[in-house]
């Protein structure tokens, strides 16, 4: 196995507060990795740094051997790193199919972008299918429910065929049945992609996670299987000490 994502000595300071403080993380090609940790542990900040949204104070992020720090967001996407956001953001005035088509077209030269879309590409049709949105294809994305927006966003990510997918709380705010469908979708995606998932939902984690990394105060606290992590006294302390409701039991 080769490392696809290597984070070394990462430090991110906001106004004197270290959101990430000397973090090292390695994600192998083909892995499905869950990132957990109490609020403020630095999970989303980590994703923001990898995708170029936040500039780190120090450290390096290498993707397939290439340094990502200092590159602009769309360049990082073009290297093959895709992400979703905590609150799914889709283009509400465009139809579902247009959203997916834009995601699919980013490699097209300007000349082809200036043409009108004719029909639906295979990748877009497959993503519509995977996200279970075929029936809503020509509806504006603004009418979608919260869960459907998350799926559309995941679908937009899939048509881009990234090598690394970073999903930021994909099941937050979803109903139980929506969570299950998202979990299935996640497993299907993970079969062919390298995926990093930030998630708070413990039930979801137990059901779908393989390897888990626990972050705490901007550092890696523990890394291992779900069972290993759950039994670790330090992890228990962090979670129990902070918020009883989120106990890892």
Partner 1 sequence: MTLGRVSLVVCVVLLAVAPLALSPFRLGLLAKYLCFAIVAVGIALAWGQGGMLTLGQGVFFGLGGYAMAMYLKLEEAGSAGLPDFMVWSGVEELPALWEPFGNPVFALAAVVLVPGLVAFLLGLLVFRQRVRGAYFAILSQALAAAFVILLVGQQGLTGGTNGMTNFTRFFGLDLSDPNGQRAVYAITALVLGLTFLVAKLLVRSRFGRLLVAVRDGEDRVRFLGYDPAVVKTITFTVSAVMAGLAGALFVPVVGIISPALLGIVPSLELLVGVAVGGRFVLAGAIAGAIAVNYAKTVFSEDFAEGWLYLQGGLFVLVLVFAPKGLAGVVESARLRWGRKPAEVVA
Chain contacts with partner 1 (rule: CB under 8 A): 51, 72-74, 77-78, 82-83, 85, 89, 91-94, 98, 101-103, 105-108, 110, 112-117, 140, 156, 160
In the complex, least distance from residue 139 CB atom to partner 1, rounded to whole angstroms: 12
Nearer CB in complex with partner 1: 103/164: 103
Nearer CB in complex with partner 1: 92/237: 92
In the complex, least distance from residue 163 CB atom to partner 1, rounded to whole angstroms: 13
Nearer CB in complex with partner 1: 179/193: 193
Question: DSSP assignment of the chain, as one string?
Answer: --EEEEEEEEEEEETTEEEEEEEEEEEETT-EEEEE-STTSSHHHHHHHHTTSS--SEEEEEETTEE-TT--HHHHHHHTEEE--SS----TTSBHHHHHHHHHGGGS-HHHHTSPP-S--HHHHHHHHHTT-GGGTTSBGGG--HHHHHHHHHHHHHHT--SEEEEESTTTT--HHHHHHHHHHHHHHHTTSEEEEE---HHHHHHH-SEEEEEETTEEEEEEEHHHHHH-HHHHHHHHHH-GGG---
Nearer CB in complex with partner 1: 163/242: 163
In the complex, least distance from residue 44 CB atom to partner 1, rounded to whole angstroms: 14
In the complex, least distance from residue 52 CB atom to partner 1, rounded to whole angstroms: 8
């Amino acid at each position: 196995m080769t490392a696809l994502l290597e984070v070394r000595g990462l430090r991110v300071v906001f106004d004197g507060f270290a959101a990430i403080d000397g973090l090292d993380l390695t994600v192998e090609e083909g892995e499905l990795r869950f990132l957990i940790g109490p609020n403020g542990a630095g999970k989303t900040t980590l994703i923001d740094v990898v995708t170029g949204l936040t500039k780190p104070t120090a450290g390096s992020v290498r993707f397939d051997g290439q340094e990502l720090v200092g590159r602009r967001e769309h360049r990082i996407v073009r290297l093959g790193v895709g992400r979703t956001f905590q609150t799914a953001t889709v283009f509400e005035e465009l139809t579902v199919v247009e959203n997916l088509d834009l995601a699919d077209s980013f490699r097209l030269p300007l000349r082809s972008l200036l043409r009108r879309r004719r029909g639906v590409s295979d990748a877009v049709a497959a993503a519509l299918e995977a996200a279970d949105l075929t029936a809503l294809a020509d509806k504006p994305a603004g009418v979608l429910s919260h869960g459907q927006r998350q799926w559309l966003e995941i679908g937009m990510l899939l048509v881009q065929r990234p090598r690394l997918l970073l999903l930021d709380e994909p099941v937050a705010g979803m109903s139980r049945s929506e969570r299950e469908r998202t979990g299935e979708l996640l497993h299907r995606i993970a079969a062919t992609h390298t995926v990093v998932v930030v998630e708070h939902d413990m039930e979801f984690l137990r059901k779908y996670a393989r390897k888990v990394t626990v972050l705490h105060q901007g550092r890696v606290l523990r890394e291992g299987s779900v069972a290993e992590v759950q039994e670790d006294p330090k992890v228990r302390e962090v979670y129990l000490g902070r918020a009883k409701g989120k106990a890892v039991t």
